[in-house]
A and B are shown apart, each in its own frame.
Chain A
């Protein structure tokens, strides 16, 4: 038996999405930039997909820029705005590396989160107008949902604060982990730029979108044929765009039921592990109750006296696919910057485990995984499992 509990890393391609993409391939489309019939047909399919994405997010089709995925969307948002309107960039300390590295490359600054991993709005205010104020802030980037612990960030509140205190500043949100679970219309209305990617919600790898609202200044990173309204050159991935649109629509139509179900499975896992093992910490939810602020099927636990690498090894061997923090280019685990930003002691952060439940996860999968995790942790702690 193998159980995939790493949906925050990637999700299986949904059959409906695969079928939609296959039907696109069957159309023998041309290059959407070509003027002939096959090209115009491709353009039509692409723009229909664009409108479908826009509809789900409550934006206009002209505001959808198709990209190769989350990293490109985040990179384009940060560098694109900073290049078009020079100034400092700010982001939360718990952003995905795609944002964090772009912000670092621009010499930017991070804003603190609280002990539960939620953006500290007071610290954001300090960075905008208070004693830590940075002149000429051109962009603030705050993710919608954190990839390690599922914590929902106060994006709408942060955007309102930026509008009020620093009117010329653009706001970006990396909604890569949120798009499968949340109605993002409020976020999309509040911010200037929003990143999504298809493979986190049952779509294909290699396609995503950056929503660029209204007249947000944006200098392209890729120049050439001027595709995507001169914001992202390169021949568009039509089948991919259709896959993204289909996956996003499906997620939207099933949202309420699916979110309830994965949250229940996530809690079933967490509560069972907590009931069987001591010295288990849930940094995003220290009292193990009221997980309303945690979105989707993700939970991050820290096991005292255990090392993530060893735990993941045993889990993989027993058929449970999970994760812990992020891996470096060599494939080795790196200490979690998210847990560090939350003030979790390094010793405890070494024993982090991320489980992320998906649409196809069953109760049997969860119960199997609980048994495997409890056995592995007990073994690594040198005690016989109860």
Chain B
């Protein structure tokens, strides 16, 4: 065993972070579990429900480690929920889990951990932290490719990667559950959380947003500009969407190829019209030094990475030139750059 470290583990009450804490405690480290209270409103799952906090606390008790709850509701509201609503209002498709990682888990919590004397922060993400020959630390894909979460960690830079530990990235989800079972953890068979933690399955995205913004009704037009339908909310329509437009008749499937909030229109067309030669991104960050040039690019949490060339466009923006035409990326989505299994950096589709 390497030297015992003092590690703060973010415990959501799920099986992955339970096992992350268990592995570190078993290895003899000085581990403290922390659950974040992020949302004061209704919630089905995630860090916001009392039963999940209870699960995290009981797992910590079982492991014999201390457990604390930190209330970051204010920051979560300001840095995750409000921008989520604002992005929808601007017609983009935001990813709040990534913003939570960027601003809360790996910023606010990391700073709190540091202030409390913890040089190391651990989470239950399925990804690995590897150190290259140059000493730079990078996120690498988890060994369980079906569960890999490197994409949602692609914004982490050297400062945030320092002291980060991802204990379960080296094992599969089945192994995680087997360990939880072996240790008798109450979370061993808990289902994975799926959805945005602050939106309930009852209210859904549309209900949540309806209370916080006004929707723009719009018309659905085809490539020739002929109106063929109507939508209640242009803001809730996403590029590539095929269902839920209630279009009458028609033969071939029609996909959303463009949305224009100002013109109150949603344009539909054939799937072939959805492919682009390039994708513009902004807010580009690099894990270490910029790596312009040929990369693999992933545009969805569970998508595959496709080859392209990332070109500096100045002011933190870039253009990805795809080797092969690529499905249009909805504005607001994270675009992650890889070399093999290593995360190089990321940006946000414009």
Interface size class of B (residues with CB under 8 A): 10 to 19
Contact flags A322-354 to B (C-beta < 8 A → 1, else 0): 000000111111100000000000000000000
Considering only CB atoms and an 8 Å cut-off, how many residues of chain A contact the other chain? 14
Asked if A310 and B69 make an inter-chain contact with CB atoms under 8 angstroms apart, the answer reads: no
Closest to B116 in A: A313
Asked if A330 and B53 make an inter-chain contact with CB atoms under 8 angstroms apart, the answer reads: yes
Closest to B35 in A: A330
Contact of A309 among B35, B53, B70 (CB under 8 A): B70
| A314 lies within 8 A of chain B by Cβ | yes
Closest to A314 in B: B116
User: Which residues, 285 to 314 on A, are CB-close (under 8 Å) to B?
Assistant: 307, 309-310, 313-314
Contacts of A9 in B (CB 8 A): none
| A380 lies within 8 A of chain B by Cβ | yes
The prevalent SS among residues of B at the interface is: mixed
Contacts of B115 in A (CB 8 A): 310, 379-380
Contact of A332 among B71, B112, B116 (CB under 8 A): B71
Docked pose: A313 CA to B73 CA in angstroms: 18
Asked if B112 and A310 make an inter-chain contact with CB atoms under 8 angstroms apart, the answer reads: yes
| B57 lies within 8 A of chain A by Cβ | yes
Among B35, B53, B68, B115, the most chain A Cβ lie within 10 Å of the Cβ of B115
Asked if B116 and A331 make an inter-chain contact with CB atoms under 8 angstroms apart, the answer reads: no
Contact flags B12-49 to A (C-beta < 8 A → 1, else 0): 00000000000000000000000101000000000000
Docked pose: A329 CA to B43 CA in angstroms: 14
Contacts of A333 in B (CB 8 A): 71
User: Which residues, 41 to 85 on B, are CB-close (under 8 Å) to A?
Assistant: 50, 53, 57, 68-71, 73
Asked if B57 and A331 make an inter-chain contact with CB atoms under 8 angstroms apart, the answer reads: yes
Q: List 26 A-B contacts (CB under 8 A).
A: A307-B112, A309-B68, A309-B70, A309-B71, A309-B112, A310-B115, A310-B116, A313-B68, A328-B71, A329-B50, A330-B37, A330-B50, A330-B53, A330-B69, A331-B37, A331-B53, A331-B57, A331-B69, A332-B37, A332-B53, A332-B69, A332-B71, A332-B73, A333-B71, A379-B115, A379-B117
B positions within 8 Å CB-CB of A: 35, 37, 50, 53, 57, 68-71, 73, 112, 115-117
Nearest 9 pairs between A and B by C-beta?
A: A332-B37, A332-B71, A330-B53, A331-B69, A332-B69, A329-B50, A330-B50, A330-B37, A333-B71
